[in-house]
Amino acid sequence: MAVKAGTADSLEQCVEQVIGRVGPRLVLGTPLGIGKCNALINAFYQRACRDADIHLRIITALSLSVPQPGSDLERRFLEPLARRLWPDYPELDYVSDLLADRLPANVEVLEFYFPPGRMLGAPAAQRNYISSNYTHVCRDMLAHGVNVMAQAVAVRGSGETLRYSLSCNPDVTLDLVPQVRRREAAGGAPAVVIGVVNRRLPFMGSDAEVTPDFFDTVLDVPAGTHEPFAMPASAVSVADHAIGVHAAALIPDGGTLQIGIGSLGDAVVHGCCLRQTANAAWKEARQRLGAADGLAEEVGGTQPFATGLYGASEMFVEGFLTLCDNGVLRRHVYDDPWLERWQELTGGGPVVSRELLEWLVAEGVMDTPLTLSDMDWLINFGVFREGVSLRDGFLHTPDGQRIAADLEDPASLAAVEAHCLGSRLRGGRVLQAGFFLGSQRFYERLRQLPEALHDAIQMTAIGEVNRLSGDRELETRQRRGARFFNAAMKMTIIGAAVSDGLDDGSVVSGVGGQFDFVSLAHKLPDGRSVLMLRSTRRNSEGQRESNIVPAYGHITIPRHLRDMVITEYGVADLRSCTDSEIIKRLLCICDAEFQPGLLAWAKKHGKIEADYALPGQCRNNTPAHLARALEPLRARGLLPEYPLGTDFTDEEQVLARALTSLKAATGTRLGLLRTLLRAARPGAVPASADACLARMGLARPGGLRERLLRRLVGQALAQQPEITAG
């Protein structure tokens, strides 16, 4: 199907041609996150809004939109930020209608993952949520009859060298398109695959790179190009940093790492970087947190990473680049069982050596004399340099040497070492991922990656990342020492995890790949799943609640898949434990305020001995004790609020904390009244708050309302360390 590109009506023309091919019932599958071609999706949506005879079903996830302010203060903070971070982002028209519950009757939006908390008040979104493991999304799209696949793509070259990249989202597309093609070839319903060029998307290679014939249509129109949606980094709290310090001790050198987006993932990255580059300070932090070395010695380590880690994560987060920068992420993985065995035996990295060649011969991998198939293997993986050839039983080198191909002959082997060996193995990767999402800085770095690192990143199908899908022995070796770190909202006291929804059935986010990775951890011989959560939260009335609870009406990870759990107060290893052991270990990482109630519940239900008493050291699990323990490291700048950097200015960082505390203080009627009374008292706003107040447009307030806002914000700012010190 040919579509005229480069004109203002190309989007609409594409829509009409698609309808002409597949009919008026459109099932549009499009990637999660920034892989959506927003302009084309909007064209399909508006076409359906105008014509009730068109039925449009959109199947996707993580529909991103610019945050909308809920108050005047939020508007003052967000509007300048939006102009800077999302200057030309085309909003998805269906999102605002979905939130307002005004989708047309002939349009459905089905999603398998929400931006956390975004759709709690959207009935249509809650009704049409598909609870699905990430690896099952392709299956579910096929079950719903997907017949249009549309994706934003990057482009490189022209003419015969023209290539496209699925860039940020090969995740489901690489699994889905071949199956749709097979269905169509077998006489099934027609389908259309569309790529929309976004020239600001980073061009990623490996499996993400495709030829033009992958698509039925490629649109290259101005509306398709815009800055990818930026996700500013969240602040990493003291509790988050404590979790990151604990987490870094659970990772063995030479192991495999999976992490997700958010402050807990950033904290794990920072903990690993401290272990690598400031090992004494990291050990000091562990000691101050009361962490013992027993579990670390059993499943992880406390020394810097000598071999380094490999990343295998559905999400390529910015932290992986930080790990590369700090020498943590550098274990190369190869799609060859012999090279993986060699790496496992020696931890030798990508360096080619005579010892490798001797080992290959000793193991029978290479014949001697060498054969042509041996030569192909040796050159393909970089063991031999380009230009070395085999003719008449002799190796011929670019520098004119003629060497007998008998590697058991010491003289020949010495000559091969001198004239044939390459310097580094080829085809290795340090990271495998299915999609990426992050900050503006992250996208710019991806656009400018050095060639060696670019080639070492494999963007691929989610089925390749989240499960063992091919050679099980090879993939097990590649993922040795795997540690899968995921965030949870709550844990039940007997080991079940709540990560995606509330006990009334409301969906907060989605399962995503969490269950996939937890399950995978139990399939790998030395894999471990690690669920991270803060021990407490504040409810809508500002009261503290425990995130470790007796029971909950919804679970994401059943307790029979329990493994390791981390809070700011330590690590609970729950694998193979009895119910009473699980309870005891979780109580030891619970906030002290809630330990008596949970212990009483366990005793009441016969789950723990009636005379059991908590160990004394666990009774110090309080925010104040934690803050005191880590304050020396914070004072030395070792536990920064944004360890991976931030898109916020200095003033915005201070304001974010101040406005958060102000919102918490005014969350109840009584709290609002108290805050207003304090703000009404005489007293000058600190001069050191002037820059922050100016950023909020409150430098010269006009009228009673603005004067009150200035006092409210000024009062919240006065509680911030930077303002107080100023």
Query: If you write DSSP's letter for every residue of 185-214 in order, what string do you get?
Result: HTT----EEEEEE-TTS----GGGEE-GGG
> What pLDDT is stored for residue 471 in this prediction?
86
Domain that holds residue 569: 238-330+481-623
The helix/strand/coil state of 511 is coil
Per-residue model confidence (pLDDT) at position 227: 96
Instruction: Report pLDDT digits (tens) over 498-513.
Output: 999 999 999 999 999 9
Walk across the sheet containing 457-459 and list its strands. Answer: 457-459, 431-436, 310-316, 256-258, 482-487, 528-532, 564-567, 570-573
| pLDDT tops 70 at residue 724 | no
User: Considering the domain boundaries, does residue 342 fall inside one?
Assistant: no
* pLDDT given at position 725: 57
Domains held by the chain: number? 4
- Check whether 1 has a pLDDT greater than 70: no
Cβ pair 114, 510 in contact under 8 A = yes
- Rounded distance between C-alpha atoms, residue 213 and residue 473, angstroms: 34
Q: What are the helix and strand counts (H, E) for the chain?
A: 29, 24
In a domain, 57, yes or no: yes
Whether residue 242 sits in one domain with residue 220: no
The H or E element spanning position 458 is: strand 457-459
Considering the domain architecture, whether residues 54 and 169 belong to the same structural domain is answered as: yes
Band (pLDDT 50/70/90 cuts) for residue 726 is: low
pLDDT at 667: 73
pLDDT of 539 reads: 86
State both tokens at 469: 């899908």
Instruction: Give dist(CA 30, CA 33) in Å, integer.
Output: 9
Note the pLDDT of residue 661: 87
pLDDT at 676 over 90: no
What pTM does this model have?
Answer: 0.94
Question: Out of 79-88, 353-362, 365-374, 706-715, which region has the weakest mean confidence (pLDDT)?
Answer: 706-715
Nearest to 39 by CA among 226, 300, 242, 235: 226
Give domain status of residue 173, yes or no.
yes
- Of 231, 152, 155, 649, nearest to 443 by C-alpha is 231
Query: Is 90 exceeded by the pLDDT of residue 675?
Result: no
| Per-residue pLDDT at 4 exceeds 50 | no
Residues 98, 166, single domain; the answer is: yes
Q: What is the pLDDT of residues 168-192, one digit of tens each?
A: 999 999 999 999 999 999 999 999 9
CA angle at residue 150 from 148 to 155, to 5 degrees? 145
335 inside domain: no
Q: 163 - beta bridge partners?
A: 156
Predicted confidence (pLDDT) at residue 673 exceeds the cutoff of 50: yes
Q: Let me know whether 313 and 366 are in one domain.
A: no
Do 274 and 375 share a domain, yes or no?
A: no
Do 147 and 27 lie in a common domain?
A: yes
What's the pLDDT at 248?
A: 98
Give the Cα separation of 450 and 463 in Å (integer). 27
* Amino acid sitting at position 413: L
Euclidean distance between CA atoms 177 and 660, whole angstroms: 44
Question: Tell me: the pLDDT tens digits for 620-661?
Answer: 999 999 999 999 999 999 999 999 999 999 999 999 999 988
Q: Is the pLDDT of residue 262 over 90?
A: yes
Q: b vs e for 498-509, b when ≥16 Cβ sit within 10 Å of the residue's Cβ?
A: bbbbeeeeebbb
Is residue 594 within 8 A of residue 548, CB to CB? The reply is: yes
Question: Does residue 500 or residue 4 have the better pLDDT?
Answer: 500
The pLDDT-based confidence of 711 (bands split at 50, 70, 90) is confident
Selection from 294, 295, 289 nearest residue 271 by Cα: 289
Rounded distance between C-alpha atoms, residue 129 and residue 500, angstroms: 12
pLDDT for 682: 66
Going from the C-alpha of 235 to that of each of 275, 320, 437, the distances in angstroms are 21, 18, 17
| Side chain identity, residue 159 | G
Q: pLDDT tens digits, residue range 559-618?
A: 999 999 999 999 999 999 999 999 999 999 999 999 999 999 999 999 999 999 999 888
Distance between CA atoms of residues 276 and 294, nearest Å = 20
Token pair 């989007």: residue? 11
Asked if residue 428 belongs to a domain, the reply is: no
Q: Same domain for 146 and 264?
A: no
Helix/strand/coil for 379: helix
Distance in angstroms (rounded) separating the CA atoms of residues 361 and 442: 44
Do 295 and 302 form a contact (C-beta atoms < 8 A)?
A: no
Confidence category of residue 2, pLDDT binned at 50, 70, 90: very low
**pLDDT, mean over the chain:** 93
- Identify whether 644 is part of a domain: no
Domain end point (choices 377, 404, 419):
419
Residue 63 in tokens: 């529909």
Give, in order, the Cα–Cα distances in Å from 457 to each of 1, 383, 452: 33, 21, 9
What pLDDT is attached to residue 5? Answer: 34
pLDDT band at 324 (very low <50, low <70, confident <90, very high): very high
Per-residue pLDDT tens over the stretch 15-57:
999 999 999 999 999 999 999 999 999 999 999 999 999 999 9
Side-chain-side CA neighbours of residue 220 (13 Å): 9
Given 401, 419, 437, the domain boundary residue is: 419
**Which of the two residues, 682 and 559, has the higher pLDDT score?**
559
- Segment 77-100 shows an average pLDDT of 95
Strands (E), 322-438: 389-391, 394-396, 402-404, 431-436
Task: Give the per-residue pLDDT at 541.
Answer: 77
Do the Cβ atoms of 571 and 295 come closer than 8 Å? yes
Query: Is 548 within 8 Å of 598 (Cβ atoms)?
Result: yes
Containing 217, the helix (H) or strand (E) segment is strand 217-219
Residue 232 lies in a domain: no
- What is the average pLDDT across 509-521? 96
CA separation for the pair 699, 686 (Å, rounded): 12
Q: Is 291 left (phi over 0), alpha (psi -120 to 50) or beta?
A: beta
Min mean pLDDT across 94-98, 488-492, 579-583, 667-671 is at 667-671
| Domain-located, residue 441 | no
Same-domain check for residues 109 and 207:
yes
Reported as half-sphere exposure (CB side, CA atoms, 13 A), residue 265 has a value of 22
- Assess contact for 260 and 601: CB atoms under 8 A: no
DSSP 483: E
Are 174 and 258 members of one domain? no
| Domain termination site, one of 572, 607, 623 | 623
Q: Are residues 205 and 294 both part of a single domain?
A: no
Residues 526 and 558 in one domain: yes
Residues linked to residue 402 through DSSP beta bridges, in sequence order:
396
The confidence score (pLDDT) of residue 7 equals: 34
Residue 568 in 3-state DSSP?
A: coil
SS3 content of the chain, % helix, strand, coil (to 5): 45, 15, 40
pLDDT digits (tens, 9 = 90+) for 450-471: 999 999 999 999 999 999 987 8
Q: What is the pLDDT of residue 528?
A: 98
* Residues counted in the chain: 726
* Model pLDDT for residues 136-168, shown as the tens digit of each residue: 999 999 999 999 999 999 999 988 899 999 999
Say yes or no: 260 and 322 in one domain: yes
3-state SS of 77-126 is HHHHHHHHHCCCCCCCHHHHHHHCCCCCCCEEEEECCCCCCCCCCCHHHH
Whether the CB-CB separation of 214 and 164 falls below 8 Å is answered with: yes
| 479: nearest Cα among 492, 469, 489, 487 | 469
Count of Cβ atoms closer than 10 Å to residue 610 Cβ: 7
Q: Can you give the CATH number for the domain in which 541 is found?
A: 3.40.1080.20
